[in-house]
C-alpha cells in the first residue's frame, strides 16, 4: 500500500502544470497548454504523476514527450487522458529511462555572433550537451535578417535569425578547433531511437515541421564526426573537459536552457567554478536562472539572456530565432 502524498506535493504538481500551460501557450503549443491545464485539475492523473520520482521526472515536458515517443495522442485532452491511463506502465518506463534533453540547434544562430567576439580558435565544451548538436556552430550556415548565408556552402543546415540592437553579425563562422560535451545521459546522433526521442521533445505547433527538419539535418552532421560526450554531472565534469582543450585553443564553456534544471545551490556552484577556469563562459538561459545579472531580463519576457563571463551581451529567442544586442 502506497503512502498518501502530502497536500504540498499535490499542489506543487498542479502549480507546475499550470505554469507550463502558460509557457506552452506563449510558445505556440496550444494543445500542450490545454492538456497541462486539464491535467492539473484531474485528481487521478495528478496521482499518477505523483507516483513518479520527485523532481524533474514529474516535469510536463518529459511526460508529454514520453507520450509522443510512444505514439500517443497530444492534440486533445480526452484522447490524451484515456491513452495515458491505459498505457501508464509504458509511459512510466520511458520517463524512468529518458530525460528532457532538447537539442534546439537553431540556438547556434544566436550564439555565433557571440562566439565570433572571442579570440579563436575555440575549444567548445558544452554542458548538458544531449546529442551534441550545438557543438557544431562552424558546420552550419546562417542567414541574419534575410541576408546571404555565411558558413560552409555544403552544410545541410541553414539557420535563420532576425536581429535588432546592432548585433555584430560576423562575416564568417568562428573557427572551432576542438569540441566536447558532458551530459547525465548522452544521446547518440547516429542512433535512430535517440533522434526519435529528440523529435518527441519538440512541441507541437506551427514551427514543428521546420524544427524536425533542422534536427534531422544537424544530427547527420554530428553523426558524421561525433564529438566526445562524457556521461556525468556537469558541475563535476566540466573542469576536466576544459583541461583537455589543446594548448593554443581558447576554452569556451557553453550551455543553453540547461541550468534551469539544476537546484539553485548547484547553479551557484557552477557559476563560482566558471570564475576559476581559463577561457570564457557563454550562458544562454532564462533570466530567472541568474536573476542577479544586471540587465538580465530581456525586452520580451520569453527571451533568454545571453551572457559572457557573467556579463549580459544579448537577449535571444528561446529557439534562436531572434537576437537583440544589449
Q: Give the pLDDT confidence score for residue 217 in this predicted structure.
A: 96
For residues 138 and 123, what is the distance between their CA atoms, to the nearest angstrom? 12
Nearest to 182 by CA among 243, 223, 224: 243
SS3 286: strand
Nearest to 114 by CA among 251, 312, 247: 312
Q: In what order do the strands lie in the sheet with 141-144?
A: 141-144, 158-164, 322-325, 311-316, 304-308, 280-286, 250-256, 122-127, 176-183, 229-231
* Range 21-25 contact pairs with CB under 8 angstroms and sequence separation of 24 or more: 24/60, 24/203
- By mean pLDDT, which of 26-30, 242-246, 320-324 is the weakest? 26-30
* Range 292-297 contact pairs with CB under 8 angstroms and sequence separation of 24 or more: 295/326
CATH class of 107-325: alpha beta
Question: Where is 282: in which H helix or E strand?
Answer: strand 280-286
SS3 216: helix
For residues 315 and 317, what is the distance between their CA atoms, to the nearest angstrom? 7
Residues 240-292: tens digit of each pLDDT: 999 999 999 999 999 999 998 889 999 999 999 999 999 999 999 999 999 88
SS3 content of the chain, % helix, strand, coil (to 5): 40, 20, 40
| Peptide bond just before 223 cis, omega within 30 deg | no
Nearest to 179 by CA among 229, 145, 219: 229
In the chain, where are the structural domains located?
A: 7-97, 107-325
Residues 51-104: tens digit of each pLDDT: 999 888 999 999 999 999 999 999 999 999 999 999 999 999 999 999 888 788
Residue 183: pLDDT over 60 = yes
Amino acid at each position: 500500500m502506497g503512502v498518501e502524498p502530502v497536500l504540498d506535493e499535490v499542489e506543487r504538481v498542479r502549480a507546475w502544470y499550470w505554469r507550463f500551460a502558460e509557457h506552452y501557450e506563449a510558445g505556440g503549443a496550444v494543445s500542450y497548454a490545454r492538456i497541462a491545464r486539464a491535467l492539473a485539475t484531474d485528481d487521478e492523473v495528478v496521482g499518477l504523476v505523483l507516483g513518479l520520482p520527485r523532481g524533474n521526472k514529474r516535469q510536463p515536458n518529459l511526460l508529454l514527450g514520453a507520450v509522443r515517443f510512444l505514439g500517443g495522442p497530444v492534440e486533445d485532452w480526452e484522447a490524451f487522458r484515456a491513452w495515458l491511463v491505459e498505457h501508464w506502465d509504458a509511459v512510466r518506463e520511458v520517463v524512468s529511462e529518458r530525460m528532457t534533453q532538447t537539442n534546439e540547434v537553431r540556438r547556434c544562430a544566436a550564439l555565433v555572433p557571440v562566439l565570433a567576439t572571442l579570440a579563436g580558435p575555440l575549444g567548445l565544451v558544452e554542458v548538458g550537451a544531449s546529442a551534441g548538436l550545438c557543438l557544431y556552430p562552424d558546420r552550419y550556415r546562417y542567414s541574419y535578417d534575410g541576408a546571404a548565408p555565411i558558413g560552409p556552402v555544403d552544410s545541410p543546415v541553414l539557420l535563420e535569425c532576425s536581429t535588432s540592437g546592432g548585433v555584430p553579425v560576423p562575416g564568417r563562422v568562428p573557427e572551432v578547433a576542438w569540441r566536447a560535451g558532458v551530459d547525465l545521459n548522452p544521446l547518440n546522433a547516429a542512433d535512430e531511437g535517440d533522434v526519435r526521442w529528440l523529435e518527441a521533445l519538440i512541441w507541437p505547433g506551427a514551427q514543428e515541421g521546420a524544427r524536425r527538419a533542422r534536427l534531422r539535418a544537424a544530427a547527420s552532421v554530428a553523426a558524421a564526426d561525433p564529438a566526445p560526450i562524457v556521461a556525468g554531472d556537469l558541475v563535476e565534469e566540466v573542469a576536466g573537459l576544459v583541461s583537455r582543450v589543446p594548448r593554443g585553443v581558447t576554452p569556451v564553456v557553453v550551455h543553453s536552457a540547461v541550468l534551469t534544471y539544476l537546484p539553485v545551490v548547484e547553479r551557484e556552484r557552477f557559476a563560482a567554478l566558471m570564475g576559476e577556469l581559463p577561457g570564457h563562459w557563454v550562458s544562454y538561459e532564462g533570466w530567472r536562472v541568474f536573476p542577479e545579472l544586471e540587465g538580465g531580463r530581456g525586452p520580451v519576457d520569453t527571451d533568454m539572456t545571453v551572457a559572457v563571463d557573467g556579463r549580459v551581451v544579448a537577449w535571444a529567442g528561446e529557439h534562436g530565432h531572434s537576437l537583440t544586442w544589449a
